[in-house]
Amino acid sequence: MIVTLTANPSVDRTMTFAEPLVPGEVHRAVRVVDQAGGKGVNVARVLALAGHEACAVLPADVADPVIEGLHDAGVHVVNVPTGVRCRVNVTVVEPGGRTTKLNAPGHPPTAEQRAALARALRESSVAGGWVVLAGSLPAGVPPRWYAALVADLKGAGRRVAVDTSGAPLTALLEGAVLPDLIKPNSEELASLTGTSAAVLESDLDEALAAARGLLARGVGAVLLTLGGAGAALVTPDGAWTATPPPITVASTVGAGDSALAGYLLADAAGAEPAERLRYAVAYGSAAAALPGTTMPTPDDLDLYGARSAAYPSPTMPPAHRTDPRSNNG
């Protein structure tokens, strides 16, 4: 089982319009869909749709629509009651796939609730299994909370993947114990290195050098998503790049979450790095081709169109040559 944490869950409401929006005008959607949302929730949904056992840990009451949506998706849920409804985020999809997200602020879990979430992660996961910490932290939650969770979980023998941004990502890399895997996009990696996202997406050498810099700091592996340019995987044993299959973009929401889920699915099947990256790109592309926050199933994949290959990279220093799939990351 793969366990995910969504500290800031939501109901994701996707509104699709037949005509481009004009500011100040009244517009009527042609389709409205509500789904359980949040990055960890999205990862769990993709895993469950692929037939892999997934557990979503999150702060929410039993009667919350997010919980109902996860049960409907076949995801096992461990919830910590909060007494408040999860936020509602709105995604606006216009013709041509242009997507605008309007995110509401979340309800910060109390210190007691955070402690309960940490216990739930340990109790729901197993030694050697993956735990995914994904998404933003609500206002009021210390940015170093993810770093503390990583230390706690790795101390218990779990493998930890993190997908976050901003202050929590910066604080994560300042921690004494770093995750086995992080999944930044170009903007998030740029925020850590001072290089522009545009340069990272157009210059693979620059992107891989930036990712190797994170390994030198102790991160186990980096899964870097580069939008339409594909993705890259950097581990102590080498680097791999992948190009996506041709698609018509419908919505980019959830593409990165799907890429991470695809990587973990391939890892669970014992795939080699190039194949793990190929699955990541195939899943991310499939998500981008679907409307709103619809998550892909295996039937949506174009695995033949997704191509991955090894990329020349210098050998990492011996002190950091750890297998990112090991418990010691």
Mind telling me the catalytic residues? 257
Instruction: Report which residue type is found at 202.
Output: S
Using alpha carbons, list the distances in angstroms from residue 63 to 1, 82, 168. Answer: 24, 11, 29
Q: How far apart are CA 268 and CA 114, in angstroms?
A: 28
Q: What order of strands is seen across the sheet that includes strand 76-80?
A: 76-80, 54-59, 2-6, 130-134, 159-163, 181-182, 222-225, 231-235, 238-243, 307-311
Give the pair of three-digit tokens for residue 317: 């220093």
Cβ-contact 164, 132 below 8 angstroms = no
- Calculate helix-pair angle for 166-173, 145-155, nearest 10 degrees: 50
d(CA 87, CA 91): 13
Q: Report strand pairing: 99-102 vs 87-93.
A: antiparallel
Question: What span, in angstroms and rounded, lies between the C-alpha atoms of 158 and 153?
Answer: 5
Q: State the residue for tokens 């170009």.
A: 186
Cα three-residue angle 98-104-107, rounded to 5 degrees: 150
